[in-house]
Amino acid sequence: MTYSTSSQTQTQTLDAAARAILKTNDRGGYTVPNGRVYPFQWNWDSAFVALGFADFDRDRAWVEIETLFEAQWDDGFLPHIVFWKDDSGYFPGASVWDAHKNPATSGITQPPVAASVIRWLWDSGSKSAREAERMAALYPKVLKWHRWFARHRDPEGRGLVVATHPWETGRDNSPEWDYPASGVDISAVGSYERRDTSHLDAQMRPTKLDYDRYLAIVQFGRDHDWDHDVIARTGPFRVADVGMTMILLRANRDLLALAKILGRSKDYAEIEASIEKTRAGIDWLWNDEVEAFCSRDLISGRSSAMITSASFLSFYAGVGTEKQNQSLIAHLDRISSKIDKMLPSLDPDHEAFDAMRYWRGPCWAVVTFLVARGLLDEGQSEWAERLRLDTAALIRDTGFYEAFCPVSGRGTGGDLFSWTAAMWLFWAGKA
């Protein structure tokens, strides 16, 4: 594609703006997703942010991931938030989680994109001895985290990832969690003061009922001293998440590639076995009626029967029969005829679709990016490019918002958002 001079200038301006966001949100070794709404280090945000830094400061890119892994627990668990410094602008803070760690952390994890990001970082660099050293130092830590998933997040041995809190999935208020969370007892939650709605329009955020449930599930974990075995077997929220499962499957493939680069032959069989187990187990998430991969509640056995942006991560994970892939592409065709910009976080034909409310409709650059990568890998280059161009247009027309309305293109949630800036630099802004 050839750019006219004016679009070249526009790209340069956006590149500079994206870099400035990452620099402004850099707290020295880690980057906050957004200075006001999310003032700590978030797990999968940092992984994506590293890709953004790779565009102009490779050392800083590695540091982002290294800092995140400094907060890894001894058993391999990698927390979803690291509270490096106190900040009263966010609720629930470190004292609510009460995980007794130094640095203070939350007690749940997030989608494991780190292995894939490390591979992208490695592949996009000069493969210098220094980067090889850094990659080699991170490798055992990532392996340990993946082992933690196998041991503590798959209580039925299906090869899937069981999320024990909606926040773990990274798709906080996806309607996929409405039914599984409906049994959570919120009677002992008590009163609390949310901070998110003092920074942002409440219409764009999860509801009070969502938050009551989030807190009740946190209380359960805290009451069980964050014993992840107990939580995954008996907790009030247990869902085989299609997003985390697909992301872990891809991450295991990338980890295997890293193991091969490093010659860690003693690990190959173990990682291959994990890949095979998930590949074989994934069909439990396929819903024949809606013809898509959907999350499934472990407590009731019920499929969400919802097509979300995460349903399309099957391409990224490299799973799906030809027929399944055809159905998914047909869904992309249908969805794109209903809205202006891809990829909405929920099927616009679903009754729960809400174009401005967080994970119930808006487009999120990070998930769109992962889906686009998968589509490209599976030979769907036109679709991959459509997703990239739509994301680029949303950012260009609106700014670096947390997410975007798929109908009007308006920004939703926080602005000057780190992972949106990173996705511009690594992907959307690259012709």
Task: Report, as residue numbers or ranges, the catalytic residues.
Answer: 172, 402
Interface pick for ligand GLC out of 45, 176, 241, 354 (rule CB under 6 A)? 45
With respect to ligand GLC, which residue has the nearer C-beta, 44 or 62? 44
Question: Interface with ligand GLC includes 243 (CB under 6 A)?
Answer: no
With respect to ligand GLC, which residue has the nearer C-beta, 45 or 390? 45
Q: Are 419 and 366 in contact (CB under 8 A)?
A: yes
- On the 0-12 / 13-18 / 19+ scale of CB atoms within 10 A, 95 is exposed
CB of 179 to ligand GLC, least distance (A): 19
CA neighbor of 429 nearest in space, from 17, 64, 45, 24 = 17
Question: Interface with ligand GLC includes 400 (CB under 6 A)?
Answer: no
Interface pick for ligand GLC out of 18, 25, 41, 42 (rule CB under 6 A)? 42
With respect to ligand GLC, which residue has the nearer C-beta, 158 or 171? 171
Interface pick for ligand GLC out of 170, 180, 243, 320 (rule CB under 6 A)? 170
Q: Give Cα separations from 220 to 77, 176, 315, 399 (angstroms).
A: 18, 21, 35, 39
Interface pick for ligand GLC out of 25, 33, 180, 219 (rule CB under 6 A)? 33
With respect to ligand GLC, which residue has the nearer C-beta, 177 or 427? 177
Number of Cβ within 10 Å of residue 179's Cβ equals 17
Cα 183 to Cα 204: distance, rounded to the nearest angstrom: 24
Cα 56 to Cα 416: distance, rounded to the nearest angstrom: 18
Say how far residue 135 (Cα) sits from the centre of its chain.
Answer: 21
- On the 0-12 / 13-18 / 19+ scale of CB atoms within 10 A, 102 is exposed
Q: Are 115 and 226 in contact (CB under 8 A)?
A: no
CB of 45 to ligand GLC, least distance (A): 5
Count of residues in contact with ligand GLC, rule CB under 6 A: 7
For 169, residues 6+ apart whose C-beta sits below 8 A from its C-beta are 111, 163, 177, 239, 241, 243, 244, 295
With respect to ligand GLC, which residue has the nearer C-beta, 42 or 53? 42
Question: Interface with ligand GLC includes 172 (CB under 6 A)?
Answer: yes
With respect to ligand GLC, which residue has the nearer C-beta, 33 or 361? 33
Residues interacting with ligand GLC, by CB under 6 A? Answer: 33, 38, 42, 44-45, 170, 172
